[in-house]
Amino acid sequence: MAGASDMHSLEFKLPDLGEGLTEAEIVRWLVEVGDLVVVDQPVVEVETAKAMVEVPCPYGGVVTARFGEEGAELPVGAPLLTVAVGATVSGGPAAGPGAGSEEDARVGSDERAQEGSGNVLVGYGTGAAPARRRRVQPPVRTAAAPVPPEANDAGPVVGNGHRADGPVPVISPLVRRLARENGLDLRELTGSGPDGLILRADVEYALRAAAASHARLPRSTAVPSAAAPSAPAESPLAPVTPLAPTPAESLVARVGHAPAGSPVTSAPGGTRIPLKGVRGAVADKLSRSRREIPDATCWVDADATELMRAREAMNGAGGPKISLLALLARICTAALARFPELNSTVDIEAREVVRLDHVHLGFAAQTERGLVVPVVRDAHARDAESLTAEFARLTEAARTGKLTPAELTGGTFTLNNYGVFGVDGSTPIINHPEAAMLGVGRIVPKPWVHQGELAVRQVVQLSLTFDHRVCDGGTAGGFLRHVADCVEQPAVLLRTL
């Protein structure tokens, strides 16, 4: 909580969005400085490693400051914005006849501000509809609207020693972290914010100035400075490449103003692409899977002609159409009931294999944001119609970026239909901490011996990648053989319906 002159200001920090998330990227601000907001009104759209989320503000009042530009990555607990509550709206006519009621003149009371629900995700807690936004003049200068460096030739002062003693005027922990990671002494800067507040733009300006000075020097004569150390800390936004960049190039790669997710030129030999958001989460999870899981893969070809005919008959009988993915999911759950070892996880610390009672089936979906794995809860208890509907719902949510963290976690087994990419086989990486993944290739006409004669049949390649700690090859082979039998003779499923 922070006070500002004669009004009561509340600082809203990026909340813990759950599921172990520690940071989020600002995608789009939904409010401007000076807007009037009500309790639980969404104020910013952020992208975590798992979903796009609209974050509601637990306070009602006037937005006086925003922290972070669109594309910036903020850690949990960093300030998002400040809201003035209990303050008189300034800049209007003096109070008097025709000037409006006291209720219109005031933003809200302290009591209303304290009634905020503390919501994290939209749809939980209080459900009051957001009021129509009204633009009012902010009572104080915003800390998120510094004078652009281009408009101020002098820019922030670097190396003046002005603050050898006393506190450094910095509010945002993101600004401190950015300066610390790049070896920049904040005492050497003069901020462009209110009362000399040091903003992120000031730090980035100083780093760009240092990078520009190094760029003008030959590589062999570049000398490290206070703002550009000779051995900068490794940044997750600048993966190591075979070509060692100079300190100035490292700074440019870290603080360049390219849009989020776009390549940032870092060296004559190539570009650096930030590993963040969904791409970063996928990289971390796949790397962990490769480190921890001793996986093995087996595969088999199967004649899917009868399965395709069965689906055609189902869809010809009326009612909702049944998807092929739903039928494959139904086969998966039936096979897991016979081979429960594959619906498990490994507790490394306890050195135990944990067999799971419910099947929460994940399925790989490629989106514009990258690879995501939505999860169908209790897939073992669903029929083909229910599975089809849930796959369709989650696929649409994935396409539009509206999947929630809960819909992207908690899977116990994954179905990977890579046949949509026109390939036959694959050896996929297990979705940690699961124990297995079934892969399905494309279904194509091929020569096949059927009932003793050569015929053209619809053939598919199935593969199973499994954690060798939870079972041996016999179990994995038995699972895959049962799946193939159900694909070739769907009537086998009738035994478990």
Catalytic residues: 468
Peptide bond into 79 cis (omega under 30): no
Q: Residue 344 pairs with which residues in a beta bridge?
A: 355
Answer positive or negative: Cα dihedral of 114, 120, 123, 129.
positive
Pick the closest to residue 329 from 367, 364, 357 (CA basis).
Answer: 364
Tokens 């703002």 sit at which residue? 227
d(CA 1, CA 302): 64
Contact 426, 74 (CB under 8 A): no
d(CA 37, CA 443): 54
What residue spans of 60-183 are helical by DSSP H? 102-105, 110-113, 173-181
Pairing between β-strand 295-303 and β-strand 41-47 as defined by DSSP bridges:
unpaired
Q: What residue type is assigned to position 350 of the chain?
A: A
d(CA 385, CA 424): 27
d(CA 259, CA 252): 14
Pairing between β-strand 73-75 and β-strand 61-66 as defined by DSSP bridges:
unpaired
